[in-house]
Structure formats: C-alpha cells, structure tokens
Structure 1
Amino acid sequence: MNATERSARFREIRDKVEADQRLSLDDGIFLYDPQVPLQAVGELANLVRERKNGNAGYFNINTHLNPTNVCVYRCRFCAFRSDLRDPKGYTMSDEQVIARGQEATDNGCTEMHIVGGLHHQKPYQWYRHLIELLHENFPQIHLKGWTAVEINWFEFQTKKSVRWVLEDLRSAGLGSMPGGGAEIFHPEVRDQLCEHKANTHAWLDIHRNAHEIGLRTNCTMLYGHVENAYHRIDHLLRLRELQDQTGGFQVFIPLAFHPENTKLSDLKKPSALMDLRTMAVSRLMLDNIQHIKAYWIMLGIETAQAALAYGADDIDGTVRHELIYHDAGATTPECLSVDDIKQLIVEAGRDPIERDTVYNRVRRDPNDYTQWSIEEMAAV
C-alpha cells in the first residue's frame, strides 16, 4: 500500500469514527501499521475519549495485596512467582493481612487490589478467608480480587461451578474482579506464554458469569512479547464481543510486557511509541467499554501522562505495595502521593477526579483526608 492508498484508507476509518461507527478487524490491523502516523491515530482516539469521558483524568487511592507468590504455574512472562522452597517465596499471615488493611485505612484507600500465586498447599478456603477477614475488619474498603486464573484454580480445588465460587466469594465480601490473566487470547500466542493455566474460553466464561451475578470486572491485554498486530486486535474483538453480551467490563487496561527477570528476557520492552499506539487503537476498537486506563506502574509516568491524549481517561492510583511488575523490572516508584497523581494529570491538561473502584466520584473531608464518601456517579 503506497502513501496515497494509506491516506485514503485512514480517511475511511476517520469517517467511521466521526460517525460513531464500529471498526473492523482489518481497520484495527491497519491502525497498527507503523507507517500510519501515530499522531493521527492518537487524535482519533482522543476524539472518542472526549466523547465518552470529557476532560476527566480519573484516579483512585488504592493499595495492592499479593498474599503469596508461591505458584503451581510457571508462565514464561512472569517474574513474580516462586517455588515453595525458594528463598524468594512467601505467604502472608492473617496478622500481616490485617496490618495491610489497617495501613490502607490509615492512608485513605478506597480499594484493595488482591492477586497472587496459586499456592498448591493452600485450599480454596484460605483464599476465601482473606477476603472475609479484610471485609469484616475494613468494610469501607472495596475488595477487587482474584483474576479469572485464580477463579479457575478455585473451581478446580472445590470441584464446584464457576458460578458457585463467584457467589461464595461475593458473600465473603468480594466487590469486583481485576482483569489479569487475559494475556493474549489467540492460542498461537497463549500456548507459548502460559499453556497450562486458564484458557481463553475459561477466562471469558468466568467474566461472563461474574457479570451475570452483578460483579463488575476489568479487562486487560499483555502486549509487546511474541504476539503481532493481528493477535492484539483479535484479543480486543473478543473482549468487545463479550461486552456486547453483558456490559460488565468497566475499564480496559493495556499492559506493556516487562521482560526483565522472565523466561523471555531476550526480548525488548515495548517502546513508548508502541505503548501510545496500543492505547489509541484500544480506545478506537473498544467502543462499548467506557474507560481506558494508562497504568503508570508499567508505562512510566511520562508515557502515562501522554496516554491521556491518546485515548486513556484513567491513570490508576497511588498503588501502594505493587510487586508483580516491579519484580519484572519496572523502575517506576512503588507509590505516588495524591498530590503527585493530581499534578501529573493537570500537567497533561486534564481535570483530576478521584473515583472509587466502580467509578463513583469520591468526596474527601478537607479536615481529615482518611474520611471520604461517595458524591455521585461519574458520567457514563
């Protein structure tokens, strides 16, 4: 395709976007072509971003809890996991979990993001107990926990249905689910990355079940490893199809692969240009998902700021105690202050809006920042 043909093809896509029409597989693959100007793709994504979310730059005050890194799986892209007898391996006690919940409360967190390894010596009840323990002691904190991979493991452990596991966890205090474990859905890639863990059908079915019982979930894509543009767009279309059916995804987070300390350490980390193109293409393809998050832990602060002009409307939060991506070589700070978060959003030309996990706006007591309440639903 020569320059004239590329220009004409891009105009066709631009006309679709301006008319709020859905893009196709071929459209998405074309937008990934490095010869299609990134700035032009970003401008289109920004049009959609502002159409959906105005000038908002959402953030939250959150903390991560990774109760164990001992895991039965050995995914090639993971630097976090550990064997049981490895000196690096750990499992948190109830006292440590309670202390982390208290720290979150003392720092005004509205959310705890809970994911970890699949410890072969810990029964399902141990994982359920962690949710119940936190919910009983810190009921004001929203517990976003357990990826579809972990739910799939719990299904195996309990010999119960996915629906039973999800309803049981919800009764213990689970508020929503993160989007991890999706990686890349296409089997050509998934079988290379994580051949033994929850497959594509299981991941999608678990999220479908969660949506059907009223649990909102996030969704993700891990890019920049052994996949290509076709695999990425195929992945986005599978998410879009499920969202058409359930409407339960609240935010999509493209996750840049960090190769350090993994079995794919010979690969290069995705460039900032690839990060921004993926952000923009994701916003354009996922017309039925309200929010796109630029996860600053993985992208770096500067790229995350730029992403707010390339389709993203959310920058995640303060992110205390994140381990998984730092183990994989992320050099970003382990935690940002609220003032830092607000400043980087303002520098990007957006209006900082604190949200809770499900995108309600949060109002803080000006005299005691740890005291907060829900003000109103963010625009949807």
Structure 2
Amino acid sequence: MDAGSDSPSAQAGPSAPTAAAAAAGTATAVGTPAAVDQTAADQTVSSVLARAADGGRITADEALLLYTRAPLHALGRAADAARRRRFPDDIVTYIIDRNINYTNVCVTACRFCAFYRAPGHKEGWVRDVDDILTRCGEAVELGATQIMLQGGHHPEFGIEWYEGTFAAIKRAYPQLALHSLGASEVVHIARTSGVSFTDVIVRLRDAGLDSFAGAGAEILTERPRHAIAPLKEPGHVWLSVMETAHGLGLESTATFMMGTGETNAERIEHLRMIRDVQDRTGGFRSFIPWTYQPENNHLRGRTQASTIEYLRLVAVARLFFDNIAHLQGSWLTTGKEVGQLTLHMGADDLGSVMLEENVVSSAGARHRTNRTELIHLIRAADRTPAQRDTLYRHLVVHRDPAQDPVDDRVASHFSSTALPIVATT
C-alpha cells in the first residue's frame, strides 16, 4: 500500500502536533508549545466524539479530524454508542440475495474493474431472459428475498431490454424484490435510448424495479473518480440521478469503494456529498463501504486500503451519517473477521449470503460464507442475528441458537449457479 496520502495518519492538517511531539517515544515537556497544541487537539477530538456519540451533527472537517486523529478504540466506542442510540435492541441483520449479472460487455472500461469485456471481445457474453429466470427460481428455492440485477453498460441495451426483463421476473416471481441497477445504468440507458433520466427511472419503476442499488458510486469526489473511471458520469451526476429517483419513489443505498489512491480528505468529501443529498431526500436506506480488490485490473493494486483504514471509515461514517439509518460492514472484500469487527465500529448490518457474485470476486475477493456462519459471526460479536428483507424489516430474529436454520445450500457462490443443474431427457 502507498504510504503517502492514502494513510489515515497523513494529511492531518493544521491540528497535527509538531514532528517532535508526534515522534514515537519522544517526551515533550509540559507547558511547551508542542504539548499545548497536542492537548488542545486531544480535547477537540474528545469533544467531537462525545457530541457525535450523543447524536449531534458533526461537520466534514470534524469528520476528517476524527478519521485521522481519534484513537481507534475511542472512535469505535463512540460509533458503537451512536449505533446503540439508533438500535437499542442490538439486532444485527443479514439478507439472502443473489447478484445476477446479465452481461459482462461494457463500454465504460473502469480501471478498477476485472469483470468487464469490451464490445466484440471473444469473452463477452449476455444472459438471456430464460437463464435469468432460472437463477431467480433457484434463489427463491433457497430463501432469497432480493435480486440484484447488475451488469455491464452494453451498447445495445436500451430501456426496452430492461423493461422486458424486469417485467418477466416480476410475473414469474412477484415475491422477489428487485434491488438492482444504479445511477450509472440510468445514465447509460438514457444515452442509449435517447430519453431523459426521469423517463428511464419511471419506466424502470413501472416495469417492476423496487429500489436502486448503490452501484457505480465508487468514489464521488471529482479527482479520484476521473482517475479510475474517466468514462463514467461525474459524481454530481450520479447523485443527481439518485435524488431524482428518490423523488419518484425509488429509494436506494449509497456505497463507497475505498483504496484506489484517494486522499483522506477525498474520502470524507464522498461522505459529505451523500449526506447533503440525504438531507434533501431521505432516500438512502443504508451506507455500504467496501475496499478495492487489486487482481486482474488496470490499477494492479498500486494502492489499497488497510484494515485499520477501513474500520476507521466505518466508525466515522456511523458518526457522520446522522440521517442514514443503516450501516453495512463488508465481509466479502475485507474478510469475515474484519466484517465481524465492523459490528463494534457502528455497523448494524453484515450484508448478504450472496447466492451468486461474479464482479468483485473476479478482482480477487475470495471470501465465502453461508447462513450458519454469518449467524454465528453476529452472535459471537454479542449481537442478536436477524434475517431482513430489502426494506430492513426483520423476517426472522434468531434469538435461540437451538432454532437456527440449517441448510448447507444457503451459501455464497462465485461464478456459478447455486443449485446443481439436473439433466433432463
């Protein structure tokens, strides 16, 4: 990992202590300017932590101060207190879903993506509607309540393709929530079909889309976004599409891929941009940060976020987002142990048992889990596990371990169907 601006200790700004005071093992005499500066900084951090833990709003500058300067354990305690204020029952949720990728053909060519293939590439593919419906049927059999239909920005896929596909899924499996696509797909469909963003959103909604995923957010801050995805819409356009969708009755999640070379200040700016929209719409159900995966893509892992950077970001997000209810920890990109640690840093959701996932795994994420293990991870963190739906309603609260569900098939799969294909004659 780069030891420069991508480190939490970098870019602390004018509140940082002098080099002598900051040096490990260096004693500073009481009453010297360095000691006075350090004491003032510590008092400021403590004051901001206390205010945020009590539900008070903090500024972006204060969030950056906490991210770069707050002691890790104090930061975690404050974030956990903020979580408990919102969810005093200590329930942590998970969902069973399936990510169905309908094509890997994409014209956007993001530098961090290992999944896409350019139009005309020999490895490009498209799933037909029957294949998609088969995968939906498997998901229903395994207890899934949500489908995330996502894929590349195919140059030939206009609004009609999505309308027909969504309508077919809803006819066959009306019980499945379609939490799918994202603002980037709206921009692409609008360009391909020659219609407005509003028209795309309304037609997707009317065809059966229940809510938008946070896909395509990556990082919304201008400089790093352009560096890793120069052909993708700017961050302010992504947010504008989401704001329009919220106004039309489609809620969404918000995400953040960290570790692609952004500075600490740019990380916090990403949070600020999301919070500003949330103040106006209230349409973001949750915030989901995850880490860049370095394999098989053009960035080649030159910069990555460390575990500590990720945990600090989760905690700061819980303190900063006083207007977003849920915060999800990522086990898929950081590992199950780190995912479990997020439950002590403000997270109240541990994501999903993904019956299929192809995009992040193609870039190197090889962590797998199943429902039994996810329930155990939550319970071992001294929380009560609960299966939820897309709206975060509790479907089953697992209060008694003796009553935990047991089904070895409900497990994460990569690049595969979840159930064996039975040959017919």
* SS of aligned partner of 1:165: helix
The structure 2 residue matched to 1:80, chosen from 115, 121, 141, is: 115
1:121 maps to 156
Superposed displacement of residue 369, structure 1: 9.4
Does the 8 A contact of 1:148 with 1:198 survive in 2? Answer: no
Q: Does residue 39 of the first structure (1) align with residue 73 of the second (2)?
A: yes
State the match for 1:11 in structure 2: 46
* TM superposition shift of 1:363: 4.3
What residue is the counterpart of 1:373 in the other structure?
none
Give the unaligned 5+ runs of structure 1: 371-380
CA contact (8 A) 2:184 2:238 kept: yes
Question: How far apart, CA to CA, are the structure 2 residues paired with 1:369 and 1:346?
Answer: 16
Equivalence map 1:84-99=2 (5 Å): 84-99=119-134
My pick for the range that moved more, 67-76 or 85-94, is: 85-94
2:380 to 336, 344, 347: 347
Give per-residue Cα distances to partners, 1:143-191, cap 9 Å, x unaligned.
1111110011111122222221111111111110000111222211111
Kindly provide the amino acid, as one letter, of the partner of residue 391 in structure 2: V
Q: 1:282: how far off?
A: 0.9
Whole-angstrom CA distance in 1 between matches of 2:54 and 2:67: 21
8 Å CA contact 2:288–2:327 kept in 1: the answer is yes
Residue 265 of structure 2 corresponds to 230
SS of alignment partner, residue 148 of structure 2: strand
Matches within 5 A, 1:145-164: 145-164=180-199
Q: Secondary structure at the match of 1:59?
A: strand
Select which of 126, 140, 144 maps to 1:109: 144
Match of 2:361 among 313, 319, 326: 326
Q: Distance in 2 between the 1:255 and 1:337 partners? A: 19
Secondary structure class of the residue paired with 1:81 = coil
For the 8 Å contact 2:271–2:317, the answer to whether it is kept is yes
1:357 corresponds to which of 379, 390, 393: 390
What SS does structure 1 have at the residue aligned with 2:198? helix
- TM-score, with normalisation over the residues of structure 2? 0.83
| 2:289 maps to amino acid | P
The alpha carbon displacement at 1:197 in A equals 1.3
TM-score between the two structures when normalised by the length of structure 1: 0.92
C-alpha separation in 2, matches of 1:121 and 1:352: 43
Superposed CA RMSD in Å reads 1.9
Answering whether residue 75 of structure 2 is matched by residue 49 of structure 1, we say no
Give yes or no for contact 2:109–2:118 (8 Å, CA) kept in 1: no
Task: Provide the identity percentage.
Answer: 32
Shift of 1:20: 2.1
Unpaired segments of 5 or more residues in structure 2?
A: 1-15, 18-37, 398-402, 408-425
Check conservation: 1:108, 1:369, Cα contact below 8 A.
no
Matched, 1:219 2:254: yes
Counterpart of 2:309 (choices 259, 262, 274) is 274
Q: 1:64 to 1:266 in 2, by over 3 A?
A: closer
| Structure whose alpha-carbon radius of gyration is higher | 2
Work out whether residues 216 and 358 of structure 1, in 8 Å CA contact, stay in contact via their aligned partners in 2.
no
Q: Would you identify which runs of 4 or more consecutive aligned residues in structure 1 move more than 6 Å? A: none
Letter in 2 for 1:37: P
1:254 offset after TM fit, Å? Answer: 0.6
Counterpart residue number, 2:218: 183
**Is 1:61 equivalent to 2:105 in the alignment?**
no
CA distance 1:213–1:52, change in 2 (3 Å): same
Correspondence list, 1:168-179, <5 A = 168-179=203-214
- The counterpart of 1:245, out of the listed 280, 299, 302, is 280
2:300 alignment counterpart: 265
Report the 3-state secondary structure (helix = DSSP H, G, I; strand = E; otherwise coil) of the residue aligned with 1:45.
helix
SS at match of 1:297: coil
Answer whether contact 1:65 1:114 (CA < 8 A) is retained: yes
Distance in 2 (CA, whole Å) between partners of 1:5 and 1:327 is: 47
Secondary structure at 2:262 match in 1: coil
Taking the aligned partners of 1:247 and 1:369, their CA distance within structure 2 comes to: 37
